Structure formats: C-alpha cells, structure tokens
Amino acid sequence: MGYGYAIGEFSSIIGISVYTLRYYEKENLIIPERKENGRRLYSDGDVSWIQFIKRLKDTGMPIKEIQKYARLRVKGDSTLEERMEMLIQHRAVLKDEIAAMQEHLANLDDKIIYYKTEIKKKHQCAG
C-alpha cells in the first residue's frame, strides 16, 4: 500500500462526488498527481486543500474566484500577499453577509410572533 488516495477513496474521505472532483480538476481547482497508468493519486495535502476550497464555496465564493486563488497558489510564495488580500476581501464580504443574515433572522422572528398572535385571535372566535 503506497501513499495517496485513488479518486474513489478521496471522494468518500472528503464527501465530494468523483464527478465533481473531475469537474474541479477540469476547472483547475485541484490537480492531483497521476500514477504511471494515468490514474489520479490524491495526497494528504490535497485533503486540506480541498477542504479549504469547500470552505470558500460554502461561504459563497464562486468557482471563478477560487480558480484565481488556486492559480496564485500554484505560483508559490511570490503570491502570498495577493492571496492574503483576496482572503481579507472575502472576509469583509462574509462579515457583511453574516450581519445581513442576522437581520433577516430577527425579522423572521417578528413575523413568527405576529403569526402566533394571529393564530390566537383566530382560535378565540369571539370579539
């Protein structure tokens, strides 16, 4: 048993379908090594990298943007500043989104309270 994971194993470790993994590769997000026979060989580094990609996705970063980040990452240390800038930007967006969601939540709460009083009124059936 050598090091690294075949695509199926990698897929079940990280919870992303093999279809999607191949799609991500086509989009240059994650490019694993290949064995002599042409089969993909994912490393432990790939595990953490794809988990970071997941995080970016889950926070609403579009694939085009993640692509840009991935391109910089491949270039190495000379792009550290630029990548940090991207994350700082993204962080700001995320903060705003959280604030907006919290406002939405408060609003939803109000609406639910309103529903409660309306339902109470309805069940009283006598003015």
Phi then psi for 28, rounded to 5 degrees? 60, 30
For residue 1, give the 3-state DSSP assignment.
coil
Confirm if 6 and 33 have CB atoms less than 8 A apart. Answer: no
Distance of closest approach, residue 59 Cβ to DNA, in angstroms? 12
Applying CB under 7 A, among 6, 47, 72, 94 the residue interacting with DNA is: 6
Rule CB under 7 A: is residue 69 a binding residue for DNA? no
CB–CB of 37/6 below 8 Å?
Answer: no
* Number of alpha carbons in the 13 Å side-chain half-sphere of residue 85: 6
The site that binds DNA (CB under 7 A) totals a number of residues, namely 19
Q: How many Cβ atoms from other residues are within 10 Å of residue 14's Cβ?
A: 17
CB of 115 to DNA, least distance (A): 24
Binding residues for DNA, rule: CB under 7 A, are 6-9, 11, 17-20, 22-23, 37-40, 57, 62-64
Binding residues for its own copies, rule: CB under 8 A, are 52, 55, 58-59, 77, 80-81, 83-84, 87-88, 90-91, 94-95, 97-98, 100-102, 104-105, 107-109, 111-112, 115-116, 118-119, 122
